[in-house]
């Protein structure tokens, strides 16, 4: 009988892509293994996971809104329905182990699996543990984390420091510069700034770039700008109005390996996955943490690099005035680029996905 693994969670790319990396690593170790994803209906995992070649089932689970809203009245009913559906999925798929990567769907699935006596593993991407993972930790057999000091949230004897799992194509980005230049239509003798704001885009970063678009044009640099779906038409209009043919705007970039390959410097939010990817691709970066992230965990993620002189940090409120000038200074300073690149590369954990996959397989009786 082939081994069977359920992987649950999602909601953002920061949860989905580590989950896919774990699945890929499991398949590399044991090609016969059967993997089923469980996500939240209407969330991006329902499109991204099938695109990666895996089957996914959606639950009606939703999160609690921070502000008072009528939607919160539906929360307990949807949670109850999701738990019943998760029990059905576990009963029918008969997994040997369940893996949770954070996000709404992982709660009902890992609870259903653990109540059935199945071993569970959770993977925490951030330096500040998410609510779902904190609630699931008591029942989990193994907790894989990306940052030291996570004993503040989880039982120390269950913790294994692995780093965050990242897709193999991104680990190999350093060999793909010429492919990236061709893909994005860029010139090989011009420096390139990559701007990424997470899967949905980052409004402050987008508006800061738009405000100082003229400075980027005058400096003669190329820009690959991932705006998110809401801002992309506005960005493209600003680029067209300015006649800025060297600035390319995309709502989403699937080919992140090629985007990193062409970048001389990166502007990014400080989500856990972005930070882990930047370490692996060794790119000098300016981090603009999302200030509304729970417990300000993006700032904590960023400081884990900044305190080692491995990245620069600009607060969200300072970005409109300071972001583009800081990016131009970094692109003009090869010595600082080299220093940041050297220091950030020392924090990379390229074997994280494989290590987590091996821990998953250890839990199968």
Which residues define the annotated binding site for UDP-N-acetyl-alpha-D-glucosamine?
12-14, 126, 167, 199, 253, 272-277, 298
According to DSSP H, which parts of the chain are helical?
A: 13-29, 45-51, 75-93, 106-115, 131-136, 168-171, 177-184, 203-211, 213-219, 232-242, 256-262, 272-281, 297-306, 319-331, 334-345, 352-362
Residues in the chain, overall count: 365
Helix (H, G, I), strand (E, B) or coil at 110: helix
Find out whether 359 and 142 touch, Cβ atoms under 8 Å: yes
CB count within 10 Å of CB 177 equals 17
Find out whether 267 and 194 touch, Cβ atoms under 8 Å: yes
Find out whether 13 and 273 touch, Cβ atoms under 8 Å: yes
**Which residue shows structure tokens 């082939």?**
2
Task: Please choose, from the candidates 361, 365, 362, the residue with its C-alpha nearest in 3D space to the C-alpha of residue 5.
Answer: 361
Distances (CA, A) of 342 to 7, 282, 305, 313: 34, 7, 12, 17
Taking each helix axis from N to C end, the angle separating 13-29 and 272-281, rounded to the nearest 10 degrees, works out to 60
Q: How many CA atoms lie within 13 A of 16 on its CB side?
A: 20
Find out whether 86 and 57 touch, Cβ atoms under 8 Å: no
Q: For the chain, how many helices (H) and strands (E)? A: 16, 13
Residues annotated within a binding site:
12-14, 126, 167, 199, 253, 272-277, 298
């Amino acid at each position: 009988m082939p081994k069977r693994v359920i992987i649950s969670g999602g909601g953002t790319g920061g949860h989905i892509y580590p989950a896919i990396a774990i699945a890929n690593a499991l398949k590399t170790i044991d090609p016969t293994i059967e993997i089923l994803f469980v996500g939240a209906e209407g969330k991006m995992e329902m499109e991204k996971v099938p695109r990666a070649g895996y089957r996914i089932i959606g639950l009606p689970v939703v999160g609690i809104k921070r502000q008072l809203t009528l939607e919160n009245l539906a929360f307990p009913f949807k949670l109850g329905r999701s738990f019943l559906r998760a029990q059905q999925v576990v009963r029918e798929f008969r997994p040997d182990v369940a893996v949770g990567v954070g996000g709404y769907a992982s709660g009902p699935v890992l609870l259903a699996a653990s109540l059935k006596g199945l071993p569970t593993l959770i993977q925490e991407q951030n330096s500040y543990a998410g609510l779902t993972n904190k609630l699931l930790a008591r029942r989990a057999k193994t907790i894989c984390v990306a940052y030291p000091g996570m004993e503040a949230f989880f039982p120390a004897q269950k913790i294994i420091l692995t780093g965050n799992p990242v897709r193999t194509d991104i680990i190999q980005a350093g060999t793909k510069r010429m492919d990236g230049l061709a893909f994005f239509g860029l010139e090989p003798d011009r420096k390139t700034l990559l701007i990424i704001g997470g899967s949905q885009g980052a409004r402050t970063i987008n508006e800061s770039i738009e405000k100082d678009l003229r400075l980027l044009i005058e400096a003669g640099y190329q820009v690959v700008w991932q705006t998110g779906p809401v801002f992309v038409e506005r960005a493209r209009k600003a680029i067209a109005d300015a006649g800025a043919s060297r600035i390319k705007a995309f709502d989403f970039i699937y080919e992140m390996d090629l985007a990193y390959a062409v970048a001389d410097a990166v502007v990014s939010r400080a989500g856990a996955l972005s930070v882990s990817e930047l370490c692996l691709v060794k790119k000098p970066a300016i981090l603009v943490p999302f200030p509304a992230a729970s417990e300000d965990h993006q700032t904590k993620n960023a400081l884990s690099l900044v305190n080692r002189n491995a990245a620069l940090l600009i607060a969200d409120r300072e970005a409109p005035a300071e972001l583009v000038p800081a990016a131009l200074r970094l692109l003009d300073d090869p010595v600082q680029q080299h220093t940041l690149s050297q220091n950030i590369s020392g924090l990379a954990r390229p074997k994280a996905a494989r290590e987590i996959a091996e821990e998953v397989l250890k839990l199968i009786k």
